[in-house]
Amino acid sequence: MGRITDELWNRIREKRDRYLGILEELLSFPSIAATGEGMDEAPDHVVEVLERVGLRSHLFTDHGGYPVVWGELREERHGTLLIYNHYDVQPPDPLEKWTSPPFKPSIRNGRIYARGACDNKGNLAARLCAIDLLMDVIGEVPLNVKFLIEGEEEIGSPHLSKFFQNHSEILGADACLWEMGGTSPSGRPLIYLGAKGILYLELVASEKRTDLHSSWGAIIRNPAFELIHLLSTMRDRKGRVLIEGFYDDVQMPDKDTLALLDELGDFESELKAIGGEDGLLSNKPSKDLLVDLTLMPCINLCGIVSGYIGQGSKTVLPGSASAKIDVRLVPRMRPEKVLELIQKHVERVSNGRIAVRPLDMGYPAARTHPREPFVELIARTASAAYGVKPLIYPSAAGSGPMYLITDFLKIPCVAAGIGDHLSNIHAPDESISLENYLRGILHIALLTINFVPFLRGGDTPYL
Residue-wise pLDDT tens digits, 149-175:
999 999 989 999 999 999 999 999 999
Rounded CA-CA distance 162/175 in Å is 21
Angle made by CA atoms 425, 26, 29, in degrees to the nearest 5: 85
* Same domain as 110, residue 30: yes
Residue 269 belongs to some domain of the structure: no
User: Is 33 found in the same domain as 153?
Assistant: yes
Which CATH number covers residue 378? 3.40.630.10
User: How does pLDDT run across 267-278, given as a tens digit for each residue?
Assistant: 777 777 677 767
Report d(CA 156, CA 360) in Å as an integer.
7
Mark whether 451 and 338 lie in a shared domain: no
Residue 102 lies in a domain: yes
| DSSP designation for 196 | B
Pairing assessment for the beta strands 316-317 and 413-416 based on DSSP bridges: unpaired
Distance CA 123, CA 85 (A): 8
Could you say which of 348, 363, 378 is where a domain stops?
Answer: 363
Measured distance CA(159)–CA(64) in Å, rounded: 6
For residue 285, tell me if it sits in a domain.
no
Residue 202 and residue 184 share a domain: no
Residue 180 forms part of a structural domain: yes
Q: Which of 310, 332, 363 is the last residue of a domain?
A: 363
Give the separation between CA 154 and CA 385, rounded to whole angstroms: 29
Q: Count of alpha carbons within 13 Å of 236, Cβ hemisphere only?
A: 4
DSSP state of 29: S
What does the radius of gyration of the chain's CA atoms come to, in whole angstroms?
A: 23
Handedness of CA 13, 17, 20, 22 (dihedral sign): negative
Do 161 and 106 reside in the same domain of the chain?
yes
CB-count exposure of residue 398 (10 Å: 0-12, 13-18, 19+): middle
Q: Classify 24 as helix, strand or coil.
A: helix
| Residues 21 and 60 reside in one and the same domain | yes
Judge contact between 128 and 195, C-beta under 8 A. no
- The pTM assigned to this predicted structure is 0.91
Q: Tell me the pLDDT of the chain (463 aa) as tens digits.
A: 678 999 999 999 999 999 999 999 999 999 999 999 999 999 999 999 999 999 999 999 999 999 999 999 987 778 999 999 999 999 999 999 999 999 999 999 999 999 999 999 999 999 999 999 999 999 999 999 999 999 999 998 999 999 999 999 999 999 999 999 999 988 999 999 999 999 999 999 999 999 999 999 999 999 999 999 999 999 999 999 999 999 999 988 899 998 998 888 767 777 776 777 677 888 888 888 889 999 999 999 999 999 999 999 999 999 999 999 999 999 999 999 999 999 999 999 999 999 999 998 999 999 999 999 999 999 999 999 999 999 999 999 999 999 999 999 999 999 999 999 999 999 999 999 999 999 999 999 999 999 999 988 889 999 9
The structural domain count of the chain equals: 2
166 and 203 housed in the same domain: no
- Based on the fold, state whether residues 347 and 381 are members of the same structural domain: no
Same domain, 189 and 205: no
Burial status of residue 409 (CB atoms within 10 A of its CB: 0-12, 13-18, 19 or more): middle
Residue in 437, 426, 417, 420 with CA at minimum distance from that of residue 107: 437
State the CB neighbour count (10 A cutoff) for residue 408.
Answer: 15
Query: Is residue 396 situated within a structural domain?
Result: yes
My answer on whether 240 and 305 are in the same domain is yes
**Is residue 9 a part of any domain in this protein?**
yes
- Whether residue 443 contacts residue 418, with contact meaning beta carbons closer than 8 Å, is answered with no
Q: What is the pLDDT of residues 341-388, one digit of tens each?
A: 999 999 999 999 999 999 989 999 999 999 999 999 999 999 999 999
Nearest to 156 by CA among 448, 359, 383: 359
Residue ending a domain, among 363, 392, 412, is 363
Same domain, 59 and 185: yes
Does residue 258 form part of some domain?
no
Judge whether 211 lies within some domain: yes
Same domain for 409 and 440, yes or no, is yes
Residues 144 and 401: their CA atoms lie apart, in Å, by 23
Q: Which residue segment(s) compose the domain that 300 sits in? A: 197-250+296-363
Backbone phi and psi for residue 259, each to the nearest 5 degrees, phi listed first: -65, -30
Over the range 197-219, which residues count as b (16 or more CB within 10 Å of their CB) and which as e? bbbbbbbbbbbeeebbebeebee
